[in-house]
Structure formats: C-alpha cells, structure tokens
Amino acid sequence: MSTNTTSTRTPKHAPNPVWAAIFVGLSTIIMTLDSTIVNVALPSIADYFNSPLSSAQWVINAYTLAFASLLLGVGAISDFWGRRPLFLAGHIVFMLSSLACAFASSTSGLVIFRGLQGFGAAMVFGTCIPLIADAYAKEDSARRNRAIGLSMTVSVAAMAFGPLVGGIILQTADDFLGRGVWPWLFLINVPLGLICIIGTLIAVPNTYKKLRAEGVTAQGKADYLTVLYTVIGLFAINYAILYGPQRGWGNWKTIVPFIVGIIVMAVMIWRQKHKGDEALLNLNMFKIPSYSTVIVLGFISKLMSFGLFSYIIYWLFGVGQRTPIQIGAIIMLVAVPMIVVAGMVGPLGKKIGANNVVAIGMGISAVGLIVGLAVNYTTNWTVLIPALLLLGIGGGFVTPFMMDIAVSVVPPQKSGVATGMANAAMPLGTATGVAVNGAILASHVNNGLDDNSIFASLPADKASIVRDMVSTGAADKVGGKVADVLPTDQAHALNDLAIHLCSQGTAIVFVVCGVVTFLTVFLSKWGIRESDRWQPDSATSDADAASSDTAGLQTSGD
C-alpha cells in the first residue's frame, strides 16, 4: 500500500495533552493487562469447561496471536480510517468481545471471542503512540517523548500486573452468573472501556479531519490480505506446536498445520518482498542490523519471560499451593523492579551506549532464568523470588530502549511501519513462548508418566485427565482424582510423581529459556550499532528533519 504524506502537516494538538496521554495510556494498559489477566484463571476455566491443557493455552494464544497479527498493519490502516476512529472502533470491538467471553458456552467459543478481543486490542494499541504524539505540539517534543516512553513502559509492566489483578478479582468477585467468578475478568473491561471512550472523545483530538481537509491522506489500498495471511500462518504454526505433545510430533494432525503455516507465511513474505516500499511488512528494514536485532530481541525477551508466566503460575498452583491473589503478588516481583529500573536507566544509555545497557539487561534476565532451576529441588515458592526479581530488573534495562532504537534507524516517514513490526514482535513472542514452553513441559510430563507402571495401569480416560492435571496447575490433586481406581499407596505414589514431573519440567523450561536468553547478550552487544542511525541527507528539507523527534541511539564498543 502507499501512504504518501507531506512533511508539512501540522495536526491540531490537544488543549490539555496530559489528559489525552492519560486516557490513551490507560487504554494501552487495559489491552496489555488482558494478555495475562486470565493466566491465574486458566485452571478454573479448564475445570469449568472440562477442557485439556492445549485448549486452555488457546485462551491466551488466541488473544496474543490476533493482537500481534493485526499490529503489523494497524498503523498503516489508520492512515485510511484515521487514528482516533480506529482507536475508538478497537475499544468497541474489545468491549463487545469481552462481554461475549464472559458468556461463552464452550472453550471453542471462548477462544474465538478472545481472538476478537485481540483484534480490538491491536486497533487500540497500534494507534496509541501516534495519538499521544499528536496530542503535543511539535515544539513540546521533550514532554511528548517522555509521555510515549512512560506509556510504553507501564503498558509492558501491566502484563506482569495482570495475574495480581486477576487473582484479586477471582477471590473477591461474586458468582452471580453461576459460572464461577472467572467471567468477571472479562466483564470488568466494559466499564473501563466506556471510560476510555468518553475520555478519548473529550480529550484526544481527531487529527484525521484536519489532514483530509489539507489533502494529506493516504493513497492506494490498505493491505488487508497481508494481515489475513499473517493470522492464518501464525495460528496454524502455533496450533501444531500446542497439540504436538498431545497428538505426537509425527502425527499428520501436527505436521499438516505446521506445513500449512510455514507455506502461508512464506507466501506472505514473498508477496511483501515484491511490493517494495509499499509493503506492509517492509523487509528492507531487516537489512539494518540494529533494527533486525531489536525485532529479534523483542520476540525472544517476551518468549522467555511472559511466555513462561503461564507455567510459573501452574507450578505455583499445583506445587506451591498458592491462592490466585498470592500468585498475583508473587508475579509482581517482576513488575515492580521493571518499572523502577526502567525509570532510571535512560542516562546510563548515554554514558555506556544502548547496546551495552540492553546486553546487561538480557544478561541479568538470563541469570534469573537459570536461577529458576531451583524449582526442581523444593516445593517452597520462595525459591522463585530471586529469579523473578532478576527477570524484572533485566526487563527494566531492556524495555525503554527497544522502541527508540527501532524508530531511530529508519527515515521518519517509515517510523509507523517500523513501530508496527517492533510492537508485533513482542506479543508474538509471548504467544510463541506459551506454545513452545508448553510443548517442552508437556513432552517431559508425558514421557515421565509413560515410563511409570502405576500410570500405565490407569483406564484411558483417567490417564488423559492426569496428563492435563500435571501440566495445568493441579499436580497436587492427582492422587485424589485416581483414588477410586487405585489403592491408596499407589494413588499417593502417583501424586508424588506428578508433583516431581511438574517441578522437573518447569525447571527444564527455565533452563532452556535461560540459555537462549544468554545468547542474546552477544546479539545485543554487536547487533545494535551507532552507525545504523538514520541521518537526513543534504537534500532533506528542514521541515522533514524537524519531523523526526526520535530518541538518539547511542552505542559503544562497535
């Protein structure tokens, strides 16, 4: 698609940009919060619908995959629809789908509505940065950049706050629907969404009307087909990964979706390559080492952190025997240091270079993940404290620099596309992490159970239930589930095995994530380069140069 714009456009800024930033920022918090708020409720949801682990995981992945897929194109699509209209439409989609989630009659229905939630969230999140930027006058670039940076950091941290918010709701809400209290996790989005919509209508300017009046609008066609290819490809690949341990990696039901996903993604990439500068996914940007490094780091950092949260929560439920609120409070050990550190590391980037700061952050995160190996040796949840604190500190070093680097190495007119791809990498990493880490855990659990003679004596229906219980936060309840078909001593022995396999599998996931994250230390150090930063040439007008208010990319040791 083509989005020809001029460099002289001067959108009307908000009379009070702080209020605009508050309502837009609140919206981004809600959208990212919803990617993890249901984590503590997955055992309850799985129990209510009597669904297996693979189905429960889709409650998370449907949201994050839809979110990531549409983020690729929402910035460009907003050039046709307008930023505020698309932002408001996203809120409406998000609210209606949240309402549908609360009244879903099956796991499949819940997954579908969660996917719609993800689409709505992408429409909101993908337009938040331009809306905040438009709210401030050009000469107020310092406050604008500060508002954008704070909004992005808090929205990322909100993912870590999600389990606590979910835990509080689960333990304080009333079961007025007779479906358990988990529907409240979705119903709460309705009043919050209304507040954001009303606030947006009052405080956020509709710059698109002014741009249309000035003739500064996008030309060409919105590339919806690329978004569709991305959705189909990513869902197919994740479907194969999630169901691989259950059906077998050699089963055609695993192989076919994986191949289909790869083919569809290959077609999408081929199509983008031939669209050149009009591509929704501008592949030429990946030729810039700093940019491609940021994309990889964004993907891996979320795959190895938020993609691991579900299984930390399962361990805390099934082995640590914590309540939802306690689990949420424990996960806060990631969020609090992330916010604190993120607010302090800016000057450090100027002193030692963004590449070194990011490398330090990834290194700290890697150490935290390796420390998580301790879950294999005890059922005491406190062994997670150092691991989670280090993950939060590491994330605080990395998060503030990612978007700055992404936009500082491309021309200003490409910053929207650059931001879209960088934003999409993070939720895509979370979704892939849920699938891959779940496959590692489930494979270990299945192998351990298959080698056990007591488990082999179980009826097929009981065996299937036990497999899912071990992997979905109910390992400590296995003995009670099989007490009617096994002698007491064997039931106790199987219960002990279930707890051991859950702990051992979780430890393996921690170590795998730690090793991969450690490798990114070197990628950060040498992949992010000062020489990649975009500089306007002599032919660029002063107005064009002034339109680029991206933060400087400082590196050292290139």
Residue range 27-79, pLDDT digits in tens: 988 988 888 888 888 878 877 887 776 677 788 888 988 888 787 777 667 76
- Structure-model confidence comparison of residues 111 and 175, the more confident one: 111
- Beta partners for residue 219, in sequence order: 2
The pLDDT of residue 380 is 86
CB distance 252 to 371 below 8 Å: no
The pLDDT of residue 21 is 82
Res. 217: pLDDT tops 50: no
The pLDDT of residue 209 is 59
Collapsing DSSP to helix, strand or coil, 489 comes out as helix
- Structure-model confidence comparison of residues 537 and 549, the more confident one: 537
Confidence of residue 424 (pLDDT cuts 50, 70, 90): confident
User: DSSP assignment of 395-454, as one string?
Assistant: HHHHHHHHHHHHHHTS-GGGHHHHHHHHHHHHHHHHHHHHHHHHHHHHHHHHHHHHT-HH
Query: How far is the C-alpha of 168 from the C-alpha of 153, rounded, in Å?
Result: 23
Residue 103 burial by CB count (10 A; 0-12/13-18/19+): exposed, middle or buried?
middle
Question: Within 13 Å of residue 442, how many CA atoms lie on the same side as its CB?
Answer: 25
User: Can you tell me the mean pLDDT for 148-173?
Assistant: 80
The pLDDT of residue 42 is 81
Confidence of residue 196 (pLDDT cuts 50, 70, 90): very high
Query: How far is the C-alpha of 398 from the C-alpha of 58, rounded, in Å?
Result: 28
Supply the mean pLDDT for the chain: 82
The pLDDT of residue 5 is 40
- The torsion angles phi and psi of 219, rounded to 5 degrees, stand at -115, 155
Query: How far is the C-alpha of 27 from the C-alpha of 155, rounded, in Å?
Result: 9
Residue 190 burial by CB count (10 A; 0-12/13-18/19+): exposed, middle or buried?
middle
- Both tokens of residue 163? 């389990």
Continuous H helices in 36-140: 42-49, 53-81, 83-102, 107-135
The pLDDT of residue 277 is 63
- Structure-model confidence comparison of residues 25 and 150, the more confident one: 25
The pLDDT of residue 210 is 58
The pLDDT of residue 53 is 61
Confidence of residue 244 (pLDDT cuts 50, 70, 90): confident
The DSSP secondary-structure symbol of 483 reads T
- The torsion angles phi and psi of 177, rounded to 5 degrees, stand at -90, -10
Confidence of residue 259 (pLDDT cuts 50, 70, 90): very high
The pLDDT of residue 75 is 67
The pLDDT of residue 138 is 63
- Structure-model confidence comparison of residues 434 and 13, the more confident one: 434
CB distance 46 to 55 below 8 Å: yes
CB distance 68 to 432 below 8 Å: no
The pLDDT of residue 367 is 96
Q: Distances in Å between the alpha carbon of 433 and those of 388, 425, 441? A: 17, 12, 12
Confidence of residue 219 (pLDDT cuts 50, 70, 90): very low
CB distance 6 to 216 below 8 Å: yes
- The torsion angles phi and psi of 320, rounded to 5 degrees, stand at -75, -20
Query: How far is the C-alpha of 501 from the C-alpha of 376, rounded, in Å?
Result: 9
Query: How far is the C-alpha of 330 from the C-alpha of 385, rounded, in Å?
Result: 8
Residue range 441-491, pLDDT digits in tens: 989 998 999 999 999 998 888 888 888 888 777 888 888 888 888 899 999
Residue range 442-453, pLDDT digits in tens: 899 989 999 999
User: DSSP assignment of 498-545, as one string?
Assistant: HHHHHHHHHHHHHHHHHHHHHHHHHHHHHHS-GGGS----TTS-HHHH
Query: How far is the C-alpha of 530 from the C-alpha of 508, rounded, in Å?
Result: 37
Contact partners, residue 423, CB within 8 Å, separation at least 6: 71, 125, 126, 403
CA angle, residues 111, 113, 115, in degrees to nearest 5: 70
User: Can you tell me the mean pLDDT for 337-358?
Assistant: 87
Residue range 108-121, pLDDT digits in tens: 999 999 999 999 99
CB distance 448 to 504 below 8 Å: yes
- Mean pLDDT is highest, among 6-10, 207-211, 465-469, for 465-469
The pLDDT of residue 551 is 38
User: DSSP assignment of 26-43, as one string?
Assistant: HHHHHHHHTTTTTGGGHH
- Structure-model confidence comparison of residues 33 and 190, the more confident one: 190
Query: How far is the C-alpha of 231 from the C-alpha of 70, rounded, in Å?
Result: 8
The pLDDT of residue 218 is 46
User: Can you tell me the mean pLDDT for 233-249?
Assistant: 82
Res. 85: pLDDT tops 70: yes
Collapsing DSSP to helix, strand or coil, 109 comes out as helix
Residue range 268-323, pLDDT digits in tens: 888 888 876 667 777 888 889 999 999 999 899 888 888 888 889 889 988 888 88
The pLDDT of residue 552 is 38
- Structure-model confidence comparison of residues 554 and 478, the more confident one: 478
User: DSSP assignment of 246-293, as one string?
Assistant: HH-TTSHHHHHHHHHHHHHHHHHHHHHHHHGGG-SS-GGGGGSHHHHH
CB distance 30 to 197 below 8 Å: no
In which region does residue 215 sit, left (phi positive, over 0), alpha (psi from -120 to 50) or beta (all else)? Answer: left
The pLDDT of residue 293 is 92
Confidence of residue 537 (pLDDT cuts 50, 70, 90): low
Query: How far is the C-alpha of 421 from the C-alpha of 284, rounded, in Å?
Result: 12
- Beta partners for residue 2, in sequence order: 219
- Structure-model confidence comparison of residues 364 and 465, the more confident one: 364
